[in-house]
Amino acid sequence: MSTSENGAGSAEPESYTLKVRRYDPESGETAYWHDYGIELDPARSVLDGILQVKDREDASIGIRCSCRAAICGSCSVRINGTTALACNTRISDAAAKAGSGQPIVVEPMNNFPVLKDLIVDMDAVHWKKVQRVVPWLLPDSDPPEREYIVPAEAMIDVTQSMACIQCGACVGACLSLEIDPEFVGPAALAKAYRFVGDPRDGQTEERLRDLAEDPHGIYDCTHCFACIEVCPKDVAPMSQIMRLRRRATADYAIKDKNNGYGHEKAFVDIIEKWGTLHEAQLLPRSFGDGSLVKGQTEPGAVKQLVESLPTAMRGLRSGKVSPKKALVHPKLPDQENVRHIFKEVHDRDERIELNLYIVGENSGDEEGAQAEGGGES
Amino acid sequence: MPQHDVLVIGAGLAGQRAALAAAESGASVGIISKVHPVRSHSNAAAGGINAALNPEDSWESHAFDTVKGSDYLGDQDAIEIMCREAPDEVLHLEHLGVTFHRNEEGRLGTRAFGGASAARTYYVADITGQALLHVLYEQLMKHDEVERFEEWFTTALVRDDTGRIAGAVTRNIRDGSLEVFTAKAVILASGGNGQVFTPTTNALICTGDGIAMAYRAGAPLMDMEMVQYHPTTLAGLGLLITEGARGEGAHLYNAAGERFMERYAPNKMELASRDVVSRAEQTEIDEGRGFPDGTVALDITKVPRQRILQALREIVNVGRDFAGVDITREPIHIKPGNHYAMGGIKTDVNGETDVAGLYAAGECACVSVHGGNRLGANSLLDTLIFGRRAGAHAARAGKGMAMPSPAGSELEREREAIDAIVARDRTGRRLSELKAEMGKTMDADCSVFRDEDRLRGALETVKRLQEEVNTVSVDDKGSVFNQDVLGVLELQFMLDNAECIVVGAIERKESRGAQYRTDFPERNDDDWLKHINLTVKGADSPEVSYSEVTMTQWEPEERKY
């Protein structure tokens, strides 16, 4: 709502072109593209670029923004096709990614209805999903006189999901949501972990059961990593979803009707046994409660098994899968090694969780490993 | 036409806390915010929240630090209330689910902060404000009896025919419609006015809307000249590096590599109060001992890397993303930058202003607990304590009262004003040019060091801009998310804030707290140990008056760190 002329940057300004997707709901016309030339210090952000256009040329461009420092979560947009906060995307990086002579393409997030220009309807998608996970603490009893006594690590553990600024970037980038708009989605599930991982909450099992049984719940995630890649706060929503799954299966053995439990168990059993993913085994084992022999197939599972046949057929036709490859799994050189690693990890008492506030490092930082050692300097 | 017992304007920490407290007291509550509540600027309060919760600490010690930090301009009755109620408030938040840092026993753990005689700052990494804001919003989602109006922009307060505040005129940003919200009490919790200055650590939304609306409605503004410049902000952009960095052990150096705080605050060094550290830095810079970009260096590298990554992760990101510096390995260049308004709408300890039916809490209010200088980690506390008190008091006061009827044609007036802006053809400068001139003038002439000549010049500029903004036009002629026209209203609000800040700074002919007058370099308790109140009065606005500082147990002393 305001302007950005914020005093001088240190470097010389350079010229860039922003190609912005405009949409005016009152005009009766469809969305269109418009190019804007800007002069900006290369260290400044795409948001600074947009604000410069608003300041100097056309203040009617709609974009939510406030803090300019990646803490308020207002300015999620797509830049050259990738969802990001405009305020912490460097204009020079965006230009480099666009390619020489090409404009920086800025458009509203995917998976949301557009209200105007770069402004999307967060309530209709994001906040509705957050509301779905009962997003408040539900202790079992009245609070203690002083603070709850909880392990320091537990608080650091949930701090990663507390770091979420509800910008919706992960929701905009989520591929599962593109296929199933009902998917509870990465942001809301990360929020759910914030309670499931919180020792003060008294509804851990109920929360997990709810999200495991929901056909659009934790097993609707396809593990594509898109949310982890776009998250500006390193919340790693997919990792939080995987933690919810581990809690649901390992801690509470929740055998959901979506076969999430069965599929995961099949996966693990196969790796343990063969040291490689034996796909011919995976399908029947997944739908058979994780075991071919004991095979108590869930009623819904038969239907799902049948439904997955066309996918298998397509795989056969395209040559991606051959009957021989599928049934007689080729032997890999490291299978023994994989089995060994499996045993090693499996036999540990502690569950190894990757958490940035514990290992203290950014997934994008190649020096990540050093942080774990403490790195005194 | 929406009606509520209590209407809260602003949904940062003060507003959300007020709304929840009012609802708990049985009132029907509406809460209006021009942004979604979790976008509020309370997010930016990184370092923590002060409370004398440790049995070895005492609220008196916390209160004394706050009184001393305020340079004795804080009202001691209000400070006592804030510090006494702090421990229970922190525990309440912990019970609601805030993931406060724990010590090895699993109890709440603390960190050190500036101007404090004990480590009493409770925190969540360096996202404390964000964590508090999001947890309170969880409670708002849970308590759906509080009616939320998200992305509604309030343009003016309305009265009934007795002169009592009876509601507000508000524009739905999504469709441009205007409505009168009626209420028995209105609580302004609309935040600070940092955007009056360029650069500032404040978000773009911090445009002093509520302060200006209250002023226009006849409520006195108090100590507006007290504007905090934070010691560690990035040059140019003005982004904040939390005081938590110094709390964790970071040092300040000038270009010659001297740890210059030795000369200014030999005991507390980098953890002296903010006005002291900012003046020290500005002196180094002005006297040629800074770096060529007008900065000094903040060196965090002596803090163990893992501790930085755990406890100061946010500023690692800020350094990396906005300055290209890995703060775990090299110093970062910083300078004092506009950060916080100690002054604001004059209230009592229950948030009541001098205008019936109108309350204020949080940064827009001046109780005053911060006086001439706010201590780090006291702002979150202020929002929560006085937000809660205002909410509860407004709810109680409204019991048994009939719903008022807004008098006059405020709605029509606001609609005509907005329509006129949209209809106007371009004649002069763009809105952004006016804003930039205001911001740069205020930063140049009304910041760390001030004098009468420059302040007079700034006042002239502000008055000229107040005329010019009434002729400014907009590019956006639509109704849906017309941010352009709201930008004009915000600039009008900001210019009222700017005028009052400069008038207060001219009026106070002494140096106290954040106000440093090079032409009056000493604190003068005989003449100026008093609040300066500014009230609207037609063409003579603002009218200046004074009120006493409330003293309870601490007599003014010389302030040394």
B330 CB near a chain A CB, below 8 Å? no
What the block records as the tokens of B2 is 């929406």
Closest-CA residue of chain A to B96: A137
- Are A247 and A217 spatial neighbours (Cβ–Cβ below 8 Å)? no
**Band of residue B111 on the pLDDT scale cut at 50, 70, 90:** confident
Which residues of chain A lie closer than 8 angstroms to B139, CB-CB?
A: 136
A125 CB near a chain B CB, below 8 Å? no
* B198, B201, B207, B210 alpha-carbon torsion, rounded to 10°: -140
What's the average model confidence in pLDDT over B367-381? 96
pLDDT, averaged across chain B = 96
CA distance B527 to chain A (A): 38
In the beta sheet, which residues pair with residue A37? A17
- Are B187 and B394 spatial neighbours (Cβ–Cβ below 8 Å)? yes
User: What residues does CATH 3.90.700.10 cover in chain B?
Assistant: 232-339
Query: A318 CB contacts (<8 Å, ≥6 apart)?
Result: none
DSSP string, B166-190: EEEEEEETTT--EEEEEEEEEEE--
User: What residues does CATH 1.20.58.100 cover in chain B?
Assistant: 410-526
Closest by Cα among A360, A356, A373 to A158:
A356
A8 CB near a chain B CB, below 8 Å? yes
- pLDDT value at B158 more than 70: yes
Which residues of chain B lie closer than 8 angstroms to A371, CB-CB?
A: 305-306, 309
- Are B438 and B196 spatial neighbours (Cβ–Cβ below 8 Å)? yes
Catalytic position from the list B17, B148, B159, B274: B274
CATH fold label, A123-257+351-372: Fumarate Reductase Iron-sulfur Protein; Chain B, domain 2 (1.10.1060)
Closest-CA residue of chain B to A57: B475
Rounded to an integer, what distance in angstroms lies between the CA atom of residue A334 and that of residue A329? Answer: 14
Rounded to an integer, what distance in angstroms lies between the CA atom of residue B188 and that of residue B346? Answer: 12
Question: Chain B 103-122, CB below 8 Å of chain A: which residues?
Answer: 103-109
Give the amino acid at B232: T
DSSP-derived 3-state class of residue B8: strand
Which whole-number Å values give the CA distances from A270 to A280, A321, A327, A333, in the listed order? 10, 19, 14, 17
Which ranges of chain A does DSSP label H, i.e. alpha helix?
A: 46-56, 91-98, 128-132, 152-162, 169-173, 175-179, 186-196, 204-213, 226-230, 237-246, 260-274, 279-287, 299-307, 309-318, 323-327, 335-346, 356-359, 368-372
- pLDDT tens-digit series, residues A361-373: 443 333 333 333 3
Closest-CA residue of chain B to A90: B321
B546 CB near a chain A CB, below 8 Å? no
CA distance B425 to chain A (A): 14
Q: Which residues of chain A have pLDDT under 70?
A: 1-11, 288-305, 320-330, 352-377
Closest-CA residue of chain A to B37: A72
Give the amino acid at B515: Q
- Are B405 and B166 spatial neighbours (Cβ–Cβ below 8 Å)? yes
Closest by Cα among A326, A340, A323 to A271:
A340
What the block records as the tokens of B364 is 């827009």
Closest by Cα among B352, B354, B358, B350 to B386:
B350
The minimal CB distance from B199 to the residues A6, A148, A376 is found for A6
Question: Chain B 197-216, CB below 8 Å of chain A: which residues?
Answer: 198-199, 203-205, 207
pTM score = 0.93
The helices-and-strands tally (H runs, E runs) of chain B is 16, 19
B490 CB near a chain A CB, below 8 Å? yes
Instruction: Work out whether the CA dihedral B321, B323, B324, B329 comes out positive or negative.
Output: negative
List the domain boundaries for chain A. 14-120, 123-257+351-372, 260-346
Rounded to an integer, what distance in angstroms lies between the CA atom of residue B409 and that of residue B1? Answer: 14
- pLDDT tens-digit series, residues B186-217: 999 999 999 999 999 999 999 999 999 999 99
Contact A162 B207 (CB under 8 A): no
- pLDDT tens-digit series, residues B500-519: 999 999 999 999 999 999 99
Rounded to an integer, what distance in angstroms lies between the CA atom of residue B407 and that of residue B4? Answer: 17
Contact A68 B94 (CB under 8 A): no
Contact B236 A9 (CB under 8 A): yes
Number of other CB atoms surrounding residue A57 within 10 Å:
14
In the beta sheet, which residues pair with residue B335? B233
- pLDDT value at B417 more than 70: yes
DSSP string, B274-308: HHHHHHHHHHHHHTT-SBTTTBEEEE-TTS-HHHH
B142 CB near a chain A CB, below 8 Å? yes
- CATH 3.10.20.30 for domain A14-120, yes or no, is yes
Which residues of chain B lie closer than 8 angstroms to A135, CB-CB?
A: 138, 141
Rounded to an integer, what distance in angstroms lies between the CA atom of residue B245 and that of residue B259? Answer: 16
State residue A38 phi and psi, 5-degree precision. -135, 160
What the block records as the tokens of B553 is 């147990």
What the block records as the tokens of B449 is 């060091």
The minimal CB distance from B204 to the residues A2, A136, A165 is found for A2
Contact A166 B109 (CB under 8 A): no
What the block records as the tokens of A314 is 């397509």
Number of other CB atoms surrounding residue A230 within 10 Å:
23
Contact B101 A155 (CB under 8 A): yes
Give the amino acid at A156: I
What angle is formed at CA B368 by the lines to CA B363 and CA B371, rounded to 5 degrees? 95
Secondary-structure breakdown of chain B: helix, strand, coil percentages, each rounded to the nearest 5? 40, 20, 40
Architecture of domain B232-339: Alpha-Beta Complex (3.90)
Per-residue DSSP letter, A259: S
Closest by Cα among A51, A53, A56, A54 to A66:
A51
Helix (H) or strand (E) segment spanning residue B24: helix B13-24
Rounded to an integer, what distance in angstroms lies between the CA atom of residue B399 and that of residue B394? Answer: 9
Rounded to an integer, what distance in angstroms lies between the CA atom of residue B111 and that of residue A159? Answer: 17
Contact A7 B198 (CB under 8 A): yes
Q: Tell how far CA A323 is from the center of its chain.
A: 34
- Is residue B84 annotated as part of the catalytic site, yes or no? no
- pLDDT at B431 (0 to 100): 97
A73 CB near a chain B CB, below 8 Å? yes
Closest-CA residue of chain A to B235: A9
The minimal CB distance from B431 to the residues A59, A66, A71 is found for A59
Candidates B148, B430, B432, B497, partner chain A, best to mutate (most A CBs within 10 A):
B432
Closest-CA residue of chain A to B300: A377
Residue linked to tokens 């409520």: B219
What the block records as the tokens of B100 is 């406060």
Helix (H) or strand (E) segment spanning residue A84: strand A82-85
Q: What is the domain class of B410-526 according to CATH?
A: mainly alpha
Rounded to an integer, what distance in angstroms lies between the CA atom of residue B500 and that of residue B506? Answer: 10
- pLDDT tens-digit series, residues B220-242: 999 999 999 999 999 888 999 98
A66 CB near a chain B CB, below 8 Å? yes
Closest-CA residue of chain A to B294: A10
B143 CB near a chain A CB, below 8 Å? no
Contact A155 B134 (CB under 8 A): no
Q: How many residues does chain A have?
A: 377
Terminal alpha carbon distance of chain B: 55
Contact B313 A356 (CB under 8 A): yes
Rounded to an integer, what distance in angstroms lies between the CA atom of residue B237 and that of residue B282? Answer: 17
In the beta sheet, which residues pair with residue B463? none
* A50, A52, A58, A64 alpha-carbon torsion, rounded to 10°: 40
Rounded to an integer, what distance in angstroms lies between the CA atom of residue B270 and that of residue B115? Answer: 10
The minimal CB distance from A3 to the residues B91, B432, B481 is found for B432
Give the amino acid at B481: F
Closest-CA residue of chain B to A25: B480
B324 CB near a chain A CB, below 8 Å? yes
Q: What was the ipTM of the complex prediction?
A: 0.96
Rounded to an integer, what distance in angstroms lies between the CA atom of residue B483 and that of residue B491? Answer: 12
B411 CB near a chain A CB, below 8 Å? no
- Are B451 and B457 spatial neighbours (Cβ–Cβ below 8 Å)? no
A161 CB near a chain B CB, below 8 Å? no
B131 CB near a chain A CB, below 8 Å? yes
Closest by Cα among B198, B215, B216, B214 to B206:
B198
B474 CB near a chain A CB, below 8 Å? yes
CA distance A257 to chain B (A): 29
For residue B542, say if its preceding peptide bond is cis, omega within 30 degrees of 0.
yes
Query: B57 CB contacts (<8 Å, ≥6 apart)?
Result: B118, B120
Of B52-56, B110-114, B372-376, the poorest mean pLDDT is in: B110-114
Rounded to an integer, what distance in angstroms lies between the CA atom of residue B88 and that of residue B90? Answer: 5
- pLDDT tens-digit series, residues B317-358: 889 888 889 999 999 999 999 999 999 999 999 999 999 999
Terminal alpha carbon distance of chain A: 44
- pLDDT at A330 (0 to 100): 67
The minimal CB distance from B305 to the residues A64, A155, A376 is found for A376
Rounded to an integer, what distance in angstroms lies between the CA atom of residue B26 and that of residue B398? Answer: 10
Rounded to an integer, what distance in angstroms lies between the CA atom of residue A16 and that of residue A102? Answer: 9
Burial (CB count <10 Å: 0-12, 13-18, 19+), residue A317 = exposed
Q: Tell how far CA B222 is from the center of its chain.
A: 13
Question: Chain A 129-148, CB below 8 Å of chain B: which residues?
Answer: 130-131, 135-137, 139, 143, 146-148
- pLDDT at A341 (0 to 100): 85
